[in-house]
Amino acid sequence: MSPTATTPSTPASEALFSRARAVTPGGVNSPVRAFNAVGGTPRFIRSASGPWLTDVDGNEYVDLICSWGPMLLGHGHPAVLDAVREAVGRGTSYGTPTEGEVALVEAIVARTPVERLRLVSSGTEATMSAIRLARGFTGRDVVVKFAGCYHGHVDSLLASAGSGLTTFSIPGTPGVPASSTELTLVLPYNDREAVAAAFAEHGDRIACLITEAAPGNMGVVPPAPGFNRFLAETCRAHGALFISDEVMTGFRVSKAGQWGTDGAVEGWVPDLMTFGKVMGGGLPAAAFGGRADVMAHLAPEGPVYQAGTLAGNPVATAAGLATLTAATDEVYARLDVVADALRAGIADTFTAAGLPHVIQSTGSMFSVFLTDHPVTSFAEAQATSVPAYAALFHSMLDQGVHLPPSAFEAWFVSSSHDDRAVQQVLDALPAAARAAAS
C-alpha cells in the first residue's frame, strides 16, 4: 500500500471484530489488541512475512509491533519455520524430557549470566515462579517493584502504589484481593532515595526486588546510568534477591539482553532473571533462572514447587533455539540500522512539523513520547499526550504502518525490516506528524 493511498477498507476485520465481541470479552485475547487506547477497529491479521502483516481484507502493513517483541528475525524466518516443521513432524508434546529443552537452556546459559534455568510457557509464569522461589529461598515475604513496570498478570505484581513511598500497595485491578498485594511495595522508577528508604524500613522482610531490566511497558524508560547496579547492590546488602525481568529485553537489546549492556560491562550479576518473547521465536516459551544455589531450591531438587504441562514444549523450544541460533551479530547490527533510520526520520519530521516529542531507547527498542521533556518515571509517561498519539497511530495505519495501539508501548523492529519497509514508514511520517500536531 502506498503512503498516499486512501484509508484502507476493512469490512472483513470489522465483521470479525463484531463476531469476536459476541463470544470473547472485548473481542480480543489480550486487552491492548482491542484498540481501546486509540479507537477504531483492530486489524485481524491473516498472514505475516518478514516485516509485513496482511490483514483479512488484503491490506498490508509494515509491522512495528513484532508480536510485542518475539519476532526478532521477522515473520516466517526460513530457519525458524524449518525447525518448527521438523519438530511438529515428530509430535507436538510428550510430557517427558527432550534434547531440545536441554539445547535451548544451554543456549540461554551460554548468552547470559544464569547458571541454572527452568523453562515455562509465558513471561507471567516466569516472574510468578521467580517471586515464589525468592520467597522460598529467603524465607521472607515482601516484594518490591516499580510503578510502570509490568511483569505479567501475577496477582501480587498487579499492584498500585500506596499513599507513601514505604507503605504497602493496593490491588491494581478488581479481582486481586488486598491480601495479595499487601506484601508488595511499589516505588517510583529511577528513584534511588525511594529504594533506599524502603530497604531502610523493611530490609529484613524483603525477599526480592523485581524490575524490568529496562522498562518497556510504560513506553521505553531506560534505567538511569548505574541504577540497575545500585539495585543489585542494595539487594545484596540486605540479603534480598535482585530479579531482573528480561522478558522483553532479553536477546533483543543485545545477545545478552539489557544485562549485556550494563551488568556485563559493570561487573554485577542478578540473582534471578526472567526471559520470554524472543526465546520462544513466536511460540509460547519463557524461562526463569539464575544462581545455582537459589535454583537448587526448586522442585524436584528443592522444596519450592513449580511445574507446567507444556513447559519446554518441543515445538516451542525448536522455534526458540532456531531463533537464538540465527540471531547473529549481523542481525543485531541490522536491528540498529533500522531503528536508527526510523528514529532519525521521526526526529526530523516531527521537529519540522512542530510536534513536541522525545524518543527514548534501549538498543533497537524505542518509544516516541509526545512531550517536550525526557520521561524517567511512570508518572511522567502518563503526562504525555494520548490523543495526539491516537492521531499519529491512525494516520500511520491508514498509510500502511502498524504501530503499537497505545502511547505507552515500545516500538519493535526486526532484522527483516528491509529498505522498502523502512522507506514506507519514513514516507508516512509527515502526514502523521501533521495529524498529531493538529
Please confirm, yes or no, whether 245 is among the known catalytic residues.
yes
- Give yes or no for residue 124 binding ligand PLP (CB under 6 A): yes
User: Which grid coordinates are listed for 106?
Assistant: 544451554
Out of 55, 101, 212, 271, which residue is the one contacting ligand PLP (CB under 6 A)?
212
Contacts to ligand PLP from residues 320-379, by CB under 6 A = none
Closest distance between ligand PLP and the C-beta of residue 362, in Å? 12
Residue 408 binding ligand PLP, by CB under 6 A: no
191 is catalytic: no
- Catalytic residue, chosen from 63, 245, 262, 271, is 245
234 binds ligand PLP (CB under 6 A): no
CA terminus-to-terminus distance, the chain: 25
Does the annotation mark 150 as catalytic?
yes
Q: What is the distance between the alpha carbons of residues 393 and 404, in angstroms, rounded to a whole number?
A: 8
C-alpha cell at 171: 490491588
- Indicate the residue type of 123: G
Residue among 13, 129, 217, 228 that touches ligand PLP (CB under 6 A): 217
Query: Strand, helix or coil at 94?
Result: coil
Active-site option among 191, 277, 332, 398: 277
Burial of 372 (0-12, 13-18, 19+ CB in 10 A): exposed
Among 117, 206, 240, 247, binds ligand PLP (CB under 6 A): 247
Stretch that binds ligand PLP, among 12-20, 122-130, 199-207, 361-369 (CB under 6 A): 122-130
Which is closer to ligand PLP, CB of 247 or CB of 353?
A: 247
Amino acid type, 419:
D
Q: What is the SS3 assignment for 384?
A: coil
Q: How far is the CB of 1 from ligand PLP (least distance, A)?
A: 29
- 29: cell is 485475547
When binding is defined by CB under 6 A, the residue of 66, 131, 248, 428 that contacts ligand PLP is 248
Bridge partners, 117 (sequence order) = 289
Place of cell 472483513: 12
Closest CA to 126 of 152, 144, 108: 152
C-alpha closest to that of 246 among 219, 221, 216, 226: 216
* Contacting range for ligand PLP; rule: CB under 6 A; set: 118-126, 220-228, 321-329, 339-347: 118-126
Answer for which of 10, 59, 127, 234 binds ligand PLP (CB under 6 A) is: 127
Binding region for ligand PLP (CB under 6 A) out of 147-155, 164-172, 323-331, 359-367: 147-155
Q: In degrees rounded to 5, what are phi and psi of residue 22?
A: -75, -20
Which of 61, 150, 189, 332 is catalytic? The answer is 150
SS3 46: strand
Q: Which of 148, 147, 112, 143 is nearest to 130 (CA)?
A: 143
List the x/- string, 267-286, binding to ligand PLP by CB under 6 A: ---------x---------x
- d(CA 106, CA 289) in angstroms, rounded, equals 12
Closest CA to 294 of 112, 114, 51, 434: 114
Interatomic CA distance for residues 350 and 432, integer angstroms: 9
Of all residues in this chain, which one has the CB nearest to ligand PLP in the complex? 123
- Please name the residues in contact with 121: beta carbons below 8 A apart, sequence gap of 6 or more: 284, 285, 286, 308, 310, 311, 313, 316
- The interface region with ligand PLP, picked from 7-15, 132-140, 198-206, 241-249 by CB under 6 A, is 241-249
Binding track, positions 10-39, relative to ligand PLP; x by CB under 6 A:
------------------------------
Is the distance from CB of 92 to CB of 86 less than 8 angstroms?
no
- Candidates 44, 146, 150, 259; binder of ligand PLP (CB under 6 A) is 150
Q: What is the DSSP letter of 298?
A: B
- Cβ proximity to ligand PLP, 135 vs 151, nearer residue: 151
Q: Closer CB to ligand PLP, residue 202 or residue 277?
A: 277
- Closest C-alpha to 161, from 148, 180, 174, 175: 148
Stretch that binds ligand PLP, among 120-128, 140-148, 232-240, 347-355 (CB under 6 A): 120-128
Nearer to ligand PLP, 61 or 146 (CB): 146
How does DSSP assign 241-279, residue by residue? EEEEE-TTTTTTTSTTTTTTTTHHHHT---SEEEE-GGG
Task: Tell whether residue 152 is a contact of ligand PLP (CB under 6 A).
Answer: yes
Given a contact cutoff of 8 angstroms between Cβ atoms, the answer to whether 360 and 220 are in contact is: yes
* Range 44-73, binding ligand PLP (CB under 6 A): 68
211 forms part of the interface with ligand PLP (CB under 6 A)? no
Of 122 and 377, CB closest to ligand PLP: 122
The catalytic residue positions are 150, 245, 277
What residue ranges bind ligand PLP (CB under 6 A)? Answer: 68, 122-124, 127, 150-152, 212, 217, 245, 247-248, 276, 286
